[in-house]
Amino acid sequence: ELAEKYRFLHWELEFADVFADRSGFDLVLGNPPWIKVEWNEGGVMGDVEPLFVLRSYSGPKLSQLRKELIDRYELRGSYLSTYEEASAIQSFLNAHQNYPLLEGQKVNLYRCFLLQAWKNTRNSGVSAFLHPEGIYDDPNASNLRSAVYHRLAAHFQFQNELKLFPIGNRNKFGINIHKNVNREKISFVHLSNLFTPVTID
C-alpha cells in the first residue's frame, strides 16, 4: 500500500542497465524542489479555515482554534496522517546513514538531490543543478560545503532582479556544475551577481 501511494524510486533497479554497463549516469541535470522539510499544520488547517494561516495568532489562541477545527470538521485522521508523513520524511532525510553530509542542517530537498546525483553519477560524470545559495553560507553545512568545493567545476550566482523565479527579487540562486570526482585541488569557474543566463554565454 505504501509503495503504491508514494511510488518509491529505486535508482539501481529502475536503471539497472545504466548501473551495470556504465556504473552510473554520465550527466544529471535538474531544478530540484527548494522545499524545507518541516511539519506545517497550516496546510491542513488552512484548507478549512484560511484565517489559521493568514492571521498571526498567539500560541494559546492557535491551540484553541486547532482543537475547535479538528472537532468541527472531523480532521483528526487527516491531521494525524499528514503529521505522520511529514515526521517520517524528516526522520529519513535527517538520518545519518541516508545523508551523512546533511547532519546537523535543516534539510532542504535540493541538498538531498545533490548527494543523490553524486551517488548515481559515474566517476567521470557531471551533475548540474539550479538551487538556492544556502549551501555556501549555512554555518552548519561545513561538511557538505567541503564536498561541494572539491567537486565544483562552475558556480554562476544570480540576483533575482528579473524575477526569473517567484522567490522575491532580493533572493539569490545559482547554477552549480559538479564533476563527480572528489579532487584534492579546489578549482572552479565563478561569476556572481548575474541577472540573466545570457551573460554566462
Reading the chain (201 residues) residue by residue, the pLDDT tens digits are 988 988 999 999 999 999 999 999 999 999 999 988 888 787 778 888 888 778 877 778 878 888 888 888 888 888 898 899 889 989 999 899 999 999 999 889 999 999 999 999 999 999 999 999 999 999 999 999 999 999 999 999 999 988 888 887 778 999 999 999 878 899 999 999 999 999 999
What are 187's three cell numbers? 578549482
Instruction: Give the per-residue pLDDT at 134.
Output: 93
Instruction: Give the per-residue pLDDT at 107.
Output: 84
pTM of the model: 0.84
Quick one: angle between helices 142-149 and 109-120, nearest 10? 40
Instruction: Give the per-residue pLDDT at 16.
Output: 97
Which position has the grid cell 526569473? Answer: 164
Whether 125 and 24 have beta carbons less than 8 Å apart is answered as yes
Whether 189 and 196 have beta carbons less than 8 Å apart is answered as no
Whether 154 and 189 have beta carbons less than 8 Å apart is answered as yes
Euclidean distance between CA atoms 179 and 176, whole angstroms: 10
Instruction: Give the per-residue pLDDT at 187.
Output: 95
Instruction: Give the per-residue pLDDT at 141.
Output: 95
